[in-house]
Amino acid sequence: MLTSLIEMLNYDFILRAFIAGIIITICSSLIGSSLVLRKQSMIGDGLSHVAFGAASIATILNIAPLEFSIPIVAISAILILRLSQNAKINGDAAIAVLSASALALGTFLISINKGVNIDLNSYLFGSILAISEHDLKLCIIVGIIIIFVFLLFRRQIFAITFDEEFAKAIGIKVQLYNTILATLCSLIIVIGMRMLGALLISSLIIFPCLSALYLSKTFRGSIIASVILAIICFIIGLTISYILSTPTGATIVLANLIALILSWLYNKIK
Amino acid sequence: MTVLQIKNLSLKYGNHYIFRNLSFAIEKNDFLCIVGPNGSGKSTLLKCLLGEIKPNQGKIQFENHSQRRVIGYLPQNPHHSPSFPASVYEVVASGSLNQIGLFSRYPKQKIEKALDTLHIADIARQQFSTLSGGQRQRVLLARALVASSNLLILDEPSNNLDYNSKQEFYRTLEKLNKSTTILMVTHDLDHNNLIGNKILSLDPNLPFFGTTKEYVRRIHAH
């Protein structure tokens, strides 16, 4: 497997995907912990569908998809956050309506624009060929921003994740940090969608964190475990997809699923 | 010295007053219990004190004007997933976030002092969610102490505690009260089991603010 890994990294497009993938996995597992622990994992899923709709519109309008999607998905993230917190409306249903509508709109627009050459599958399931040099640069910039912001606010993020009511009472700006988290989540979704696909990117936010919950007793430890697991699963998934010529996104998600099962077993027998 | 002064506080939903022209004050080292039946407005009053709900009229004044940020608060039934990965130390340390800057370290001495005061230093590395109900309340009380040792606001802290844990928790509060002002919302104190030196009753049939002794006399007369 190591020989295959070294061999595949000789290809420029795989090297780009490798670097982008490492950045995406680090960022998604950082943010994922808070979303999963607050039972807001579906925000990631909803946003990925919005990202698909936005990218479809951008492609049809011949605009750079990532730059176009980032503000739209960021606004949707804040909207979804508000919907999920609003006790007066059924937040879950509202998120489902928004995400399904965005997915339907994207599919509809792509199908009626027959003159535009778009591979629907690559948007939905991701493609290792999709990461251009420009995408990689954007990915690095966005990745650095996400990691920096998370590290800067990690203690506040812990406080609002553990006990929002207490955090609010002692004067932590809970709404501000919720908005920051939702925005960071939207950035990850957009940069990760090209490689993992709209249907699978949210799994990168959820799986490593769930596995880490079985391995660590502390918040800090669970985030470190989540990042390490996510990177290992990404490298294994990418390499296997290269060897077996399987879809990269799906293979990475399956590697994460195996890691989750192994973590659960470890937790049961230890 | 007055730690908290409430003047003519009123709050209403629609035409229904939750409380009307409520006035009381807490002096340093007081232990005030807010009592009353369900729906009498105990938790709503607390939300006003914490700034979550704006009253229709009246004034809430803390010892110094910026004190809202330095209240030690113990919420009612904080609900966490059984697998939540947080150590006791992480939970207690999070109480200091109202005092430190983004780039500052946690105040180690203050945290360790709170852990020692609540006798939980030996479980500081344990996972919070694996502790018993009584231990969890002590950890959350330590977190509140780290946030502020001047004024602790406790919202029904004895909920879900068995009889022994409850008695032990109240003893801990009485010890803390020697150096800390405490305001506690509670519904499980009967007149044979009162703690603290002052009572605010929001019971519409027996509105009262005064000393605990006087409250007992009033109950017997009632």
Candidates A37, A156, A169; nearest CB to B84: A37
Contacts of B70 in chain A (CB under 8 A): 170-171
Q: Percent of chain A beyond pLDDT 90?
A: 43
The sheet carrying B208-211 orders its strands as B72-74, B151-155, B181-185, B31-35, B198-201, B208-211
Dist CA A194 CA A66 (whole Å): 9
Closest CA of chain B from A166, distance in Å: 6
Dist CA A65 CA A68 (whole Å): 5
What's chain A's length in residues? Answer: 270
CB-based contact, A152 to chain B, within 8 Å = yes
Is residue A224 classed exposed, middle or buried when 0-12, 13-18 and 19+ CB atoms within 10 A define those classes? middle
* For residue A263, pLDDT beyond 80: yes
Closest CA of chain A from B206, distance in Å: 30
At B78, the pLDDT band (50, 70, 90 cuts) reads low
User: Which residues, other chains included, contact B58 with Cβ-Cβ below 8 Å and sequence gap of 6+?
Assistant: B6, B7, B8, B9, B10, B21, B22
Nearest CA in chain A to B75: A166
Alpha-carbon distances of A60 from A53, A69, A122, A199, rounded to whole Å: 11, 13, 15, 20
pLDDT of residue A119: 65
Is B70's CB within 8 Å of A170's CB?
Answer: yes
Dist CA A217 CA B129 (whole Å): 9
Q: Is the pTM of this model over 0.90?
A: no
pLDDT of residue B85: 92
Dist CA A226 CA A16 (whole Å): 23
Is B75's CB within 8 Å of A171's CB?
Answer: no
As for the ipTM of the complex, it is 0.86
Which of A182-191, B144-153, B187-196 has the weakest average pLDDT? B187-196
At A39, the pLDDT band (50, 70, 90 cuts) reads confident
Interval B1-12: pLDDT, tens? 888 888 998 888
As given in the structure block, the two tokens for residue B27 are: 């002096």
- CATH class of the domain at B2-71+148-221: alpha beta
Mean pLDDT of chain A: 88
Residue pair A157/A172 in contact (Cβ under 8 Å)? The answer is: no
Contacts of B111 in chain A (CB under 8 A): none
Contacts of A212 in chain B (CB under 8 A): 85
pLDDT of residue B19: 84
The sheet carrying B2-13 orders its strands as B16-27, B2-13, B57-62
Q: Percent of chain B beyond pLDDT 70?
A: 93
Contacts of A167 in chain B (CB under 8 A): 94, 97
CB-based contact, A169 to chain B, within 8 Å = yes
pLDDT of residue B192: 57
Other CB atoms within 10 A of residue B111 CB? 22
Contacts of A165 in chain B (CB under 8 A): 75, 78
pLDDT of residue B215: 86
At A225, the pLDDT band (50, 70, 90 cuts) reads very high
Dist CA A112 CA A209 (whole Å): 39
As given in the structure block, the two tokens for residue A72 are: 């739209």
φ and ψ of A209, to 5 deg: -65, -45
pLDDT of residue B221: 79
Question: Alpha carbon B113 to chain centroid distance?
Answer: 19
What domains, with CATH codes, occur in chain A? 2-269 (1.10.3470.10)
Question: How confident is the model over B18-33, as a mean pLDDT?
Answer: 89
Is B70's CB within 8 Å of A213's CB?
Answer: no
Q: Of chain A residues 15-74, which have a CB less than 8 A from chain B?
A: 37, 39
As given in the structure block, the two tokens for residue A254 are: 């399956």
* For residue B65, pLDDT beyond 80: no
Q: Where are the domains of chain B?
A: 2-71+148-221, 85-147
pLDDT of residue B181: 92
* For residue B66, pLDDT beyond 60: no
**Residue carrying structure tokens 């609002």:** A160
Which of B6-15, B50-59, B144-153, B157-166 has the weakest average pLDDT? B157-166
Pairing of strands B208-211, B198-201: antiparallel
At A84, the pLDDT band (50, 70, 90 cuts) reads confident
Closest CA of chain B from A219, distance in Å: 5
CB-based contact, A263 to chain B, within 8 Å = no
Q: Percent of chain A beyond pLDDT 70?
A: 96
Question: How confident is the model over A75-103, as a mean pLDDT?
Answer: 80
Dist CA A169 CA B2 (whole Å): 21
Is B95's CB within 8 Å of A214's CB?
Answer: no
Closest CA of chain B from A225, distance in Å: 11
Is B86's CB within 8 Å of A158's CB?
Answer: yes
Beta bridge mates, B59? B7
Interval B152-204: pLDDT, tens? 999 988 877 888 888 888 888 988 898 899 999 987 766 556 788 899 988 88
Candidates A159, A212, A214; nearest CB to B94: A159
CB pairs under 8 A between A and B: 85
Q: Percent of chain B beyond pLDDT 90?
A: 25
- CB-based burial, B126-164: b 16+ in 10 Å, e otherwise: bbbeebeebbbbbbbbbbbbbbbbbbbbbbbbbeebeee
At A98, the pLDDT band (50, 70, 90 cuts) reads confident
Question: How confident is the model over B35-55, as a mean pLDDT?
Answer: 87
Choose from A170, A173, A180, A216 for mutation: most chain B CBs within 10 A: A170
The dihedral through the CA atoms of A212, A216, A219, A221 has a sign that is negative
CB-based contact, A213 to chain B, within 8 Å = yes
Candidates A165, A170, A220; nearest CB to B69: A170
- Which of B204, B151, B211, B143 lies closest to B177 in space, CA to CA? B151
DSSP, res A49: H
Helix, strand, coil percent values for chain A (each to nearest 5): 85, 0, 15
Is B50's CB within 8 Å of A214's CB?
Answer: no
Closest CA of chain B from A213, distance in Å: 6
Is B75's CB within 8 Å of A37's CB?
Answer: no
CB-based contact, A162 to chain B, within 8 Å = yes
Higher per-residue confidence, A223 vs A118: A223
Interval A197-219: pLDDT, tens? 888 888 899 999 999 999 998 99
Is B68's CB within 8 Å of A171's CB?
Answer: yes
Question: How confident is the model over A237-250, as a mean pLDDT?
Answer: 90
Interval A129-145: pLDDT, tens? 778 888 899 899 999 99
pLDDT of residue A208: 95
Nearest CA in chain A to B126: A217
Closest CA of chain B from A11, distance in Å: 40
Closest CA of chain A from B184, distance in Å: 15
